[in-house]
A and B are shown apart, each in its own frame.
Chain A
Amino acid sequence: MKKNSLLMSFLIDKQTLDDLNILGKYAVNSIYSLFNVVITAGGEKLLNKYFHNLLNDHESINKRSQLFCFFQNGDYQFPIKKEDFVLAEAYLTQTNYSNPLNAFLHATRVQFLRKIGLDKEYQILKEGMIATTKVFRSLTTFGETFDNGLVQNPFALQCETLKTILNNKQLQWIKKSETDDKITFIQFAKYDYVLRYALKNELAELLHIIYEIDVNIAVAKVAEKEGFSYAKAYSKERNFLSFEELFHPCVNDAVGNDIEFSDEKNVVFLTGANMAGKSTLMKAIGVAVYLAHMGFPIPAKKFEFSVKDGIFTSINVPDNLHLGYSHFYAEVLRVKNIAEAVISNRYLLILFDELFKGTNVKDAYDATVHITKAFSKKIFSSFIISTHIMEAGVALQKEETQIQFLYLPTVMKGVIPIYTYKLQKGISDDRHGMVIIGNEKIIEIINGAHL
């Protein structure tokens, strides 16, 4: 069973990623762009990898979130100047000498070019080398900060590697050479050989550790700034999700909400007026679960969950007029796809916003009741279903015990609706559509009052 789960990757599709606005470096307010405060290009690549490869066993999730937590508690700063790192990275990854002779010949050629007045190449290489030494010195100092008697250091392995590499005999000259500018030709050739040939593999490893440090610090900083916390993952056997003060990271001054799913109550039936915040709440749940499966900090005060196999959402289903689908049919097909996913992968999180909004009330009522009932039997998956059709909720309330009924209330201040964004138990019958139409004064406009 466990072996099997390790082989599987996390199930998610484009519709879901779009609904939750997860990926996209340049997408407005995407979750990726929220975390993309890394300094190095390699760090960005690594971050991207984390976003595309979700974890699906609780041990590796907890391990990674502890690592981020450790970095946040330590309040570490990225020890290397960006300019230095760019030069050092370019220098170290530029040429791969095939043998020592080749390295020596290259150094000689550069020296020769310099002698005849073409010292541009030499200058570039020297700058790269100097930047590299600076990076190494900063790293040595940084590595020492980890040794301050910390009992459990989830980054210990990488620290050890770092130390081993930096203490390599062939690199000791770096610690001594305070006067970088006075490098002789012999020294230059020797150092170049060491950095770019002899210790090639060690230094590639070192670069990777730097990328990791970069990402860890970036994620920790975002967590600190946004007030995120770390989720605790459990094995998937028992289906449960428990949020405390969950909020959406892209909403300013967001209101936190508590919400819980378990195998006894695996469906949330969500109602509320237009603009009461139903979609935002559902997106917040989706985003938090996604981030939790990366081991990343999540926008909530506390979050404990059993590991899922995937997320499917149906929040903005576009009608596909090219294929001649009506909006309703597009929704039916989406539900069908999800039903198929639910039967082949038991442990899923499913979000349905405004199920069957493209059809008439009676059809939507029938369909919502039947589909919700059928889904509630799938106790290993968690579902949230929001709808305008409160009558469907009333019908389900009578016979279903698997369903929790929650709503987002609207409070009327005179004719102006105020939204609390705070979940309450029950079914909402708030209807303020006519109030909005009244506020926009449409009837008066048609009658010519405003001309």
Chain B
Amino acid sequence: MDFTVDKQTLDDLNIFGKQGGISIYNFFCSTYTKGGALLLEKMFRYPLADKDEINNRTDTIRFFQKNKITFPFNGQLFDIVDKYLQNTDVRSKLSNEEDTLKRKFRSAIGVENEYELLHKGVIAMIEIINSAKDFIHQIKKTASFKSYEEDVEKFEFIFKINNLDWTQKEKNKKHLRYPETAKYDRILRFEKNREMRILLELIFRLDVFISVGNISTTYGLTYAKATNNVDKKIEIKDLYHLNIKDPVKNDVSIGKNSNMIFLTGANMAGKSTLMKSIGIAVFLAHVGFPVPATAMEFCVQDGLFTTINLPDNMNVGYSHFYAEVLRVKKIAYEVAKEKKFLIIFDELFRGTNVKDAYDATVAILEAFAKREQSTFIISTHIIEAGETLMKKNDNIKFLYLPTKMEGEIPAYTYTLEEGITNDRHGMVIIRNEKILEILNEEKQLTYEFFNR
């Protein structure tokens, strides 16, 4: 069972960075190894949809963060080892018969490149195995490694099954003699190649856990708690957006009795940003990563669909309105599957006239609100639609982002309040840009021109 996210959503939330600015992926990607970065991307591509898996990953990251465990390997070793283990060409196998005087001579004058590479790979691999052994030894002394226990067992399984005791003997050696190199190379690269790769995968996972834990410390992120409690769908305390400096924090709470938030607010009051923050937090929580808030509890969802920057497709001849209709239709199909989706819709039906937008908003939202499994966050300018819905539906929660006028200048608090706002400051913005003055000024110029 997967967590469903589509391209529109990934773009809206800037998960992989199409819009410019710092993407969420780039924000978290500070791994020590290339393999770790790839694994991190894979985790982002496939968020989890299982409570235990999510909590397990969260606990693991928290464990490393709490115990301030640093990555115990030299990251450069993995570039060497990666190439080394991929070379499974049997012709490159070293054999004892080749340990001739001729080889020694070639080695002495430094032309035995192929052998040097293999030698380097063996040394690096031994260092990795030894460090891993030490590391696991340390971990087991720590009291609460329960969430990481599965990985620890896998590590130990590899250490045991391959009987890698000999690595201890070669610890910290910079040079190995030819017969040893040939023997170890055979074991590492051919006989136990698969196990060595599993070992690397385990280390890449460790890399992700530790580096994400570091990010969490640096930015003061929090771990979300996954539940299967449908009564409390999403509870976030002090939520904020990662890309904003000195952000204002908001509490968001969506439960069974209010599975829809109807959000209003003036232009630039922060509606889109708030919706993006919610989307990002829910997304990260399903990856099992820490979120930008002080506390979060959520019922595991089956998917996330946002519609924040919907492009109209003029080449196909779609108007903006029709693009919106098609997007709503797509989401309607998903919602009808009786699954738990979080649906975020910014400025629903802005591409049509007022009356249509009103009718459509009321009709669509009423139908959506009956789908109690799913959760909806909808923003719109059509406050009249909100007033109508308020009378008829009791499972819709009405929130707004206020604007306070300081003389001519609108000031935004970015703090959610309950209710519907009819703040409109479009004319204020136009007045502040002095457009009408610019045009009226010209009247005088024209007359001057004629009088001349």
Stretch at the interface among A112-120, A171-179, A284-292, A436-444: A436-444
Chain A CB within 8 A of B357 CB: yes
B359 at the interface (CB under 8 A from A): yes
Whether B314 lies near A316 (C-beta < 8 A) is yes
- Is there contact, CB below 8 Å, between B439 and A433? no
Rounded to whole angstroms, the CA-CA distance of A447 and B436 in the bound complex is 49
Q: When chains A and B are docked, how far (Å) is the Cα of A432 from the Cα of B381?
A: 20
B315 contacts A274, C-beta separation under 8 Å: no
- B177 at the binding interface (Cβ < 8 Å): no
Task: Answer whether residue A362 sits at the interface, using C-beta atoms and an 8 A cutoff.
Answer: yes
A274 close to B19 (CB less than 8 A) = no
The reply to whether A451 and B336 contact each other, CB–CB distance below 8 Å, is: yes
- Whether A434 lies near B354 (C-beta < 8 A) is no
- Closest residue on chain B to residue A433 by CB atoms: B356
> Using a CB-CB cutoff of 8 Å, which residues 410-449 of chain B contact chain A?
424-427, 429-430, 433-436, 438-443, 445-446
B-contact 0/1 string along A308-340, CB 8 Å cutoff: 000000001001011000101100110110011
Of A36-44, A56-64, A352-360, the segment with at least 4 beta carbons within 8 Å of chain B is A352-360
Distance in angstroms from B344 CB to nearest chain A CB is: 16
The A-B contact count (CB < 8 A) is 162
Instruction: Output the least CB separation between B175 and chain A (Å).
Output: 54
Report whether B21 and A322 are in contact in the complex, using a CB–CB cutoff of 8 Å: yes
B328 at the interface (CB under 8 A from A): yes
Contacts of B357 in A (CB 8 A): 433
The one of B320, B325, B435 that contacts A440, using a Cβ cutoff of 8 Å:
B325
Contact between A274 and B322, CB atoms less than 8 A apart: yes
- On whether A375 and B439 interact (CB within 8 A), knowing A433-B359, A437-B364, the answer reads yes
Contact among B19, B321, B446 for A321, CB-based, below 8 A: B19
> CB < 8 Å: which of A335, A339, A443, A448 contacts B364?
A443
| A13 interface residue (CB < 8 Å to B) | no
| CB <8 Å contact, B439 and A339 | yes
Contact B319 A442 (CB under 8 A): no
> B residues 376-392 with Cβ under 8 Å of A?
381-383
- CB of B196, distance to nearest CB on chain A (Å): 45
Does B353 sit within 8 A of A, measured CB to CB? yes
Contact B322 A322 (CB under 8 A): no
Please, which residue of chain A has its CB at the minimum distance from the CB of B425?
A: A363
A346 to B450, CA, bound (A): 13
CA distance A356 to B329 in the complex (A): 26
The reply to whether A389 and B336 form a contact with Cβ atoms under 8 Å apart is: no
CA distance A447 to B371 in the complex (A): 8
Determine the distance from Cα of A377 to Cα of B338 in the docked complex, in whole angstroms.
58
A156: CB under 8 A from chain B? Answer: no
B342 smallest CB distance to A (angstroms): 16
Minimum CB–CB distance from A346 to chain B (whole Å) comes to 7
Bound CA–CA A78/B337 (angstroms) = 64
With contacts A332-B429, A370-B430, A436-B322 taken as known, whether A274 is within 8 angstroms of B329 at the C-beta atoms is no
Q: Which residue of A lies closest to B336 (CB)?
A: A448
| Partner among B351, B354, B363, B433 whose Cβ is within 8 Å of the Cβ of A443 | B363
Q: List 17 A-B contacts (CB under 8 A).
A: A274-B319, A274-B321, A321-B309, A326-B268, A332-B429, A332-B430, A343-B439, A357-B350, A360-B383, A360-B424, A361-B382, A374-B436, A431-B352, A433-B359, A437-B325, A442-B332, A446-B367
- Which 6 A-B residue pairings sit nearest by Cβ, starting from the closest? A363-B426, A433-B356, A360-B381, A343-B442, A388-B353, A445-B332
